[in-house]
Chains A and B, each alone.
Chain A
Amino acid sequence: MKFAILVNEGPYTHQASDSAYQFAKAALAKGHELFRVFFYHDGVNNASRLTVPPQDDRHIVNRWSALAQEHGIDLVVCIAAAQRRGMLDENEMKRQGKDANNIAPGFRISGLGQLVEAGIQADRLVTFGD
């Protein structure tokens, strides 16, 4: 079955991102397809390449990146929510005239249409948030 996941909360502030990750892992382990994970609202903070959690804590951002790399999962960050929160990829950095970018590997910035498409293409869309 084809799943899609929506994450509406940032890492380390709410369990939503952890729950979503565990759900994603379990779905893949059962042989399901994960069409896309869409990060919306504060969920865009899951894509920051610059997070440095303590070494004995889970690294939520790297965990998502690793999942994308291992399974080819499409991790999409909402562009409007990202810009409000200072989340930029290289293209947006140039376009907005900023001096840095911070999107972690495996994530890409795009629009809400990607969430709508995920809802249409996937058999199930599961929402995690506060």
Chain B
Amino acid sequence: MLHIVNKSPTERNSLDSCLRLATDGSAVLLIEDAVYAATRGNPGSTKLQAAMGRLKFYALEPDLKARGVAARVMDGVTLVDYGGFVDLVAEHRNCQSWL
């Protein structure tokens, strides 16, 4: 299962909901404002760190760059472009957008 989160963790709790319900081995793709969660020092990064053993994290690089935070990405998060986004959707049997 691929979970797609698009909200900043300081704006809404969709990342929390996602992390609470995602089953082990799932992938989480951070897009739009959710990419802030993958930056060092962000409250979301602690949550990602805690879940890193059981979930695989990805972040959309164009959205990180658009927000000027591409240089602050935490370790353990894989960056993908839109082509990589498409690949992730194709590789997983289903996807859930946490709107």
A residues sitting closer than 8 Å to B (CB atoms) are: 1, 3, 8, 15-16, 19, 22-23, 25-27, 29-30, 32, 123-124, 126-130
With a cutoff of 8 Å between Cβ atoms, the chain B residues found around residue A30 in the complex are 83, 86-87
B residues sitting closer than 8 Å to A (CB atoms) are: 4, 6, 31-32, 62-63, 81-83, 85-87, 89-90, 94-95, 97, 99
Q: Are A15 and B32 in contact (CB under 8 A)?
A: yes
Q: Are B89 and A124 in contact (CB under 8 A)?
A: yes
Contact partner, A22, options B4, B62, B94, B95, Cβ 8 Å: B62
- Chain A residues touching B, majority SS: mixed
With a cutoff of 8 Å between Cβ atoms, the chain A residues found around residue B94 in the complex are 124
Contact partner, A19, options B31, B86, B87, B95, Cβ 8 Å: B31
Q: Which chain A residue has the least Cβ–Cβ distance from B87? A: A30
Q: Are A23 and B95 in contact (CB under 8 A)?
A: no
Q: Which chain B residue has the least Cβ–Cβ distance from A130? A: B99
With a cutoff of 8 Å between Cβ atoms, the chain B residues found around residue A8 in the complex are 99
Q: Which chain B residue has the least Cβ–Cβ distance from A18? A: B32
Q: Which chain A residue has the least Cβ–Cβ distance from B33? A: A15
Q: Which chain B residue has the least Cβ–Cβ distance from A28? A: B86
With a cutoff of 8 Å between Cβ atoms, the chain B residues found around residue A15 in the complex are 6, 32, 63
Q: Are B86 and A23 in contact (CB under 8 A)?
A: yes
With a cutoff of 8 Å between Cβ atoms, the chain A residues found around residue B90 in the complex are 1, 32, 123-124
22 contacts between A and B (CB under 8 A): A3-B89, A15-B6, A15-B32, A19-B31, A19-B32, A22-B82, A23-B86, A26-B82, A26-B85, A27-B86, A30-B83, A32-B90, A123-B90, A124-B90, A124-B94, A126-B95, A127-B4, A127-B99, A128-B6, A129-B97, A129-B99, A130-B99
Besides the known contacts A3-B89, A23-B86, A25-B82, 14 further A-B residue pairs in the complex with CB atoms under 8 A apart:
A8-B99, A15-B6, A19-B31, A22-B82, A23-B82, A26-B85, A26-B86, A124-B89, A126-B4, A126-B95, A126-B97, A127-B97, A128-B97, A130-B99
